[in-house]
């Protein structure tokens, strides 16, 4: 594997990182994007591809949080081995001494008593490589590095990659207005896929907040890349950055639609959140086609059957009587929305219990650090959906 400037057609080992539990969702997305050969790892999926694929995946992949390209892979017996092997990497061919860098990653190895130490060793190897070439060293910037490396050590096995995304890919660039409890954009994109929505049926989010689920659903239905509004990609700071290649990929991406292939409706009880959702969605050409109603969920003007995908309030960030709210939600679904399909993400098991409907499927997921469940329901007219 040679990820250096001259290797435009070389096949690279590309690792797409994802959130807990979404590996198979990401693999499905990769298949749809034209990468049928996938290997599922823990919180990641691996494929092979070229630098053009790396650029495309950063733009198009909705379910990944970072796109890594392997630089080196080796085995060590001691701490010292890590420094020695890292010193063999041609760091000066990867990035310019004027760029800042940082190393992040994960260490699961008894070789290292202090898990910060391996990062220091690789940092030293990078700095010493530059010093030996030009007596100049690049600076470290942990918060906003131009170039980000990923170090992963499992027992004796070391993988060093360059993180071609830099800032995580959920920083899409379209969500400028948020409320107190926004859903992570990558989680939203994964849930849209996991829900089984067919991209044609009317989709309703009755607790839409800043509109994340609606935005990701509309992006998927229109084929517009979720990262079309994002400016930052760390691959632009690498020495092998091919601006013409990136521009041809970016310019050929779809971005303007004259209509939506389906109806999307949002609602929120808060006037402020309704304005924020509208503002975020109008970043896109499809924004004006998405109707956002300022209303409590049970007063929404929608007619069943629809596909409901939503994230009701569930934690201390939004003071709410959970039992009452979810109880009312369950009654509304049962009595007003059957026959419909429903997907709900919530961190409140008490809330799910209060809904009083039997879930067709349950998935453990995380919204940032908050452990949640995503439950799917099928509402039938009659008694079938009741507990």
For ligand SAM, the binding residues (CB under 6 A) are 179, 181-183, 206-207, 209-210, 212-213, 267-270, 273, 296-297, 311-313
The arrangement of strands across the sheet holding 291-294 comes to 291-294, 264-268, 203-205, 307-310, 340-346, 370-379, 361-367
The SS3 of residue 4 is: coil
Q: Which is nearer to ligand SAM, 5 or 327 (CB)?
A: 327
Residue 134 burial (C-beta neighbours within 10 Å; 0-12, 13-18, 19+): exposed
- Find the shortest distance in angstroms from Cβ 43 to ligand SAM: 22
Q: How far from the centroid of its chain's Cα atoms is residue 348's Cα?
A: 22
Query: Which of 237, 238, 209, 212 shows the shortest CA–CA distance to 226?
Result: 212
Q: Which is nearer to ligand SAM, 129 or 210 (CB)?
A: 210
Q: Which is nearer to ligand SAM, 49 or 182 (CB)?
A: 182
- Find the shortest distance in angstroms from Cβ 312 to ligand SAM: 6
- Alpha helices by DSSP H, listed for 135-237, are 185-194, 212-222
Q: Which is nearer to ligand SAM, 213 or 355 (CB)?
A: 213
- Find the shortest distance in angstroms from Cβ 232 to ligand SAM: 21
Q: Which is nearer to ligand SAM, 64 or 183 (CB)?
A: 183
Q: Which is nearer to ligand SAM, 128 or 315 (CB)?
A: 315
Output the six-digit token pair for 11: 């096949």
**Integer Cα distance of 347 and 38 in angstroms:** 31
Beta-strand (E) ranges in 119-227? 147-154, 157-163, 203-205
ω into 369 cis (within 30 of 0):
no
- Find the shortest distance in angstroms from Cβ 311 to ligand SAM: 4
Query: Which of 145, 130, 271, 132 shows the shortest CA–CA distance to 208?
Result: 271
- Find the shortest distance in angstroms from Cβ 362 to ligand SAM: 19
Query: Which of 267, 361, 350, 281 shows the shortest CA–CA distance to 311?
Result: 267
- Find the shortest distance in angstroms from Cβ 182 to ligand SAM: 4
Q: Are 333 and 357 in contact (CB under 8 A)?
A: yes
User: In which residue are the tokens 């009741």 written?
Assistant: 386
User: In which residue are the tokens 């594997």 written?
Assistant: 1
**Integer Cα distance of 158 and 352 in angstroms:** 42
- Find the shortest distance in angstroms from Cβ 281 to ligand SAM: 11
- Find the shortest distance in angstroms from Cβ 294 to ligand SAM: 9
Q: Which is nearer to ligand SAM, 145 or 209 (CB)?
A: 209
Residue of closest CB approach to ligand SAM? 209
- Find the shortest distance in angstroms from Cβ 183 to ligand SAM: 4
Q: Which is nearer to ligand SAM, 38 or 212 (CB)?
A: 212
Q: Which is nearer to ligand SAM, 160 or 218 (CB)?
A: 218
- Find the shortest distance in angstroms from Cβ 101 to ligand SAM: 33
Q: Are 125 and 90 in contact (CB under 8 A)?
A: no
Q: Which is nearer to ligand SAM, 164 or 310 (CB)?
A: 310
**Integer Cα distance of 359 and 230 in angstroms:** 36
**Integer Cα distance of 229 and 286 in angstroms:** 14
């Amino acid at each position: 594997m040679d990820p250096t400037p001259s290797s435009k057609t070389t096949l690279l080992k590309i690792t797409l990182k994802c959130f807990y539990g979404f590996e198979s969702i990401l693999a499905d997305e990769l298949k749809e994007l034209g990468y049928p050969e996938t290997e599922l790892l823990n919180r990641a999926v691996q494929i092979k591809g070229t630098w053009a694929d790396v650029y495309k995946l950063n733009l198009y992949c909705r379910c990944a949080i970072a796109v890594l390209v392997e630089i080196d892979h080796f085995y060590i017996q001691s701490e010292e081995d890590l420094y020695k092997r890292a010193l063999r990497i041609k760091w000066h061919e990867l990035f310019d001494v004027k760029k800042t860098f940082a190393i992040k990653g994960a260490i699961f190895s008894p070789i290292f008593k202090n898990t910060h130490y391996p990062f220091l060793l690789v940092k030293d190897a990078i700095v010493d490589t530059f010093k030996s070439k030009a007596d100049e060293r690049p600076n470290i910037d942990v918060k906003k590095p131009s170039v980000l490396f990923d170090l992963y050590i499992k027992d004796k096995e070391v993988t060093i990659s360059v993180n071609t995304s830099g800032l995580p890919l959920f920083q899409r660039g379209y969500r400028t207005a948020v409320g107190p409890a926004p859903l992570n954009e990558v989680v939203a994109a994964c849930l849209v896929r996991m829900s089984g929505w067919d991209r044609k049926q009317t989709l309703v989010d009755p607790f839409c907040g800043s509109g994340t689920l609606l935005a990701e659903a509309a992006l998927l239905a229109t084929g517009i890349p979720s990262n079309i509004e994002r400016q930052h990609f760390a691959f632009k700071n690498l020495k092998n950055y091919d601006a013409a290649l990136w521009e041809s990929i970016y310019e050929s991406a779809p971005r303007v639609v004259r209509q939506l292939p389906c109806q999307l409706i949002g609602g929120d009880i808060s006037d402020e959140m309704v304005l924020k959702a509208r503002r975020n969605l109008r970043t896109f050409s499809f924004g004006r086609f998405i109707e956002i109603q300022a209303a409590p969920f049970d007063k929404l003007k929608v007619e069943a059957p629809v596909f409901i995908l939503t994230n009701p309030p569930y934690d201390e960030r939004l003071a709410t009587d959970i039992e009452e709210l979810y109880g009312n939600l369950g009654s509304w679904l049962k009595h007003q929305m059957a026959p419909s399909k429903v997907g709900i993400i919530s961190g409140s098991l008490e809330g799910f219990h209060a809904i009083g409907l039997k879930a067709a499927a349950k998935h453990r997921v995380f919204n940032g650090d908050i452990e949640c469940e995503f439950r799917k329901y099928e509402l039938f007219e009659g008694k079938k959906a009741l507990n």
